[in-house]
Structure 1
Amino acid sequence: MTCTVCLRDLYADELTHQACRPCTDRVGLDLAALAGPNGLYARLADSLTPGGSSSGPAVSGSRTAPLPVRLGPLSLAARGGVVTVLQTWLIDWHDLLGYRHPRWEGGLQQQCDQVVGRLRVLLPWAAEAHGAFDEFARELRDLRRQCETATGGERQPRRVPVACPCGQTLRITLDTAGVRCPACSTQYGHAEALGLPLAERRAAA
């Protein structure tokens, strides 16, 4: 059996799980990065106004007035953004477990902290029993990257071309969970994908 997130073979003590231990730990770190007074969600508020983050240089001399808020951070911080996505997942988990509908209290920051805390409590169960844990892990990772970009943190990772033995070029990042070759249908886990030779070097050989 393989991990549904990184696609590597599961160890004997992980065979009843959807995800391996490293992937489960990574999801926990992604959740933790969003919450708290210094978390990514809280930092979105400081990035709402133009020039409010280090994501790019200020531009002067424009003939039109700048937007009063930056739409990228706003869409993530507002209802329907980060908090709503996480709450939707928690509702799904509660339904599957037969728990009552979670209740949200306070403003969006407080709700973010509440839903992250609850998701982290239920994370071991989800990694073992939730059939869409891989989808949750990917969506959470995307949310974290969007928040990092919006707050002037990490940029989108650069994709590196590597060569499948069949000759097909695959594009991966350093944190690629797994990739399937469209030409020969070979499935690579995280470690296997990173172990493939660079496409340029292979072609030049």
Structure 2
Amino acid sequence: MNDAPTQQCTVCATGLYDTEQQTCRPCTERVAANLLALAGPEGLYARLSDSLHPGSGSGGPAVSGSRTAPLPVRLEVLNAMTERGPVLGPLEGWVRDWEQHGRATVDETGTLQQRLDHAVGTLRFNLNWAAANHPAFADFADELWVIVRRCRTAAGEEKPPVKVPVACHCGQILRVSLDMDHVDCRRCQTRHGHAEMLRLTPTRRAAA
């Protein structure tokens, strides 16, 4: 058997061994760990509720120095907890995608936590198949990483990602970070998706 890498992993571009298909074992294991981190009563999704109120989770102040009363909840956390928010929405979207391949079953019954646990469970169950065969597995791995990072940031476990200035094709300077789903250019009205915005050219200031 030839143990030398032959092809590249679609996720990290490292060489694959002949026992690996499309995705290397470390990347598959990282995806499995990210899925596992989201689900269950102690998972990242459940812990979002602990960060819902100002001053909780992220370590932000409960009361600001302004005369305006603070919002009773943190809207970005509340949005992340909703049915169509940036956590459950994308996960169930991937379940629907895998269902078309005969590898998952959508279940939109029960509480939001139960739906998330089901989505994570069916994605984990079919993970080895997807890592070896799904044509968009790299996109799935990338989006899942963004979801986990967003949850950890909301829970105060990570600092918010640094925003880097990049140049739109029209010349407008945009500020992007790895956890953003997209960025809109005000000048030319172009919406750059996550993968596209990461390919935009950093400005001289960012390079410095």
Q: Please indicate the TM-score interval, normalised by the length of the shorter structure.
A: 0.7 to 0.9
Name the SS of the counterpart of 2:126 in structure 1.
Answer: helix
Report the CA distance between 1:158 and its aligned residue.
6.4
Q: What's the counterpart of residue 80 of structure 1?
A: 84
**Contact 1:55/1:150 (CA < 8 Å) preserved in 2?**
no
Residue 126 of structure 2, aligned match among 113, 122, 129 = 122
User: Any conservation in 2 of the 1:47–1:151 contact (CA below 8 Å)?
Assistant: yes
Q: Give the structure with the higher percent helix.
A: 1
The equivalent residue for 2:95 is 90
The answer to whether residue 5 in structure 2 is matched with residue 5 in structure 1 is no
Q: Which has the higher contact order (CA 8 A, sep 6+)?
A: 1
Q: Residues 119 and 74 (structure 1 numbering): CA distance in 2 closer, same or farther, change over 3 Å?
A: same
| 2:43 equivalent to 1:42 | no
Residues of 1 paired with 2:64 and 2:108: CA distance?
42
Q: Percent identity?
A: 52
Conserved? CA contact 1:145–1:155, under 8 Å: no
Whole-angstrom distance in 1 between the partners of 2:97 and 2:81: 22
Which of 147, 150, 156 is the aligned partner of 1:152?
156
How much does 1:145 deviate?
0.3
Structure 1 match to 2:113: 109
Unpaired runs of at least 5, structure 2: 1-6, 164-177, 179-197, 202-206
Normalising by structure 1, report the TM-score. Answer: 0.72
User: Aligned residue pairs: how many?
Assistant: 164
Deviation at 1:18? 2.1
CA RMSD of aligned residues (A): 2.5
Distance in 2 of aligned mates of 1:69 and 1:147 = 16
**1:26 positional shift:** 0.1
Partner Cα distance (1:76, 1:128) in 2: 30
Distance 1:76 1:103, change over 3 A: same
1-structure distance, mates of 2:103, 2:30: 26
- Structure 1 residue 58: deviation in Å? 3.6
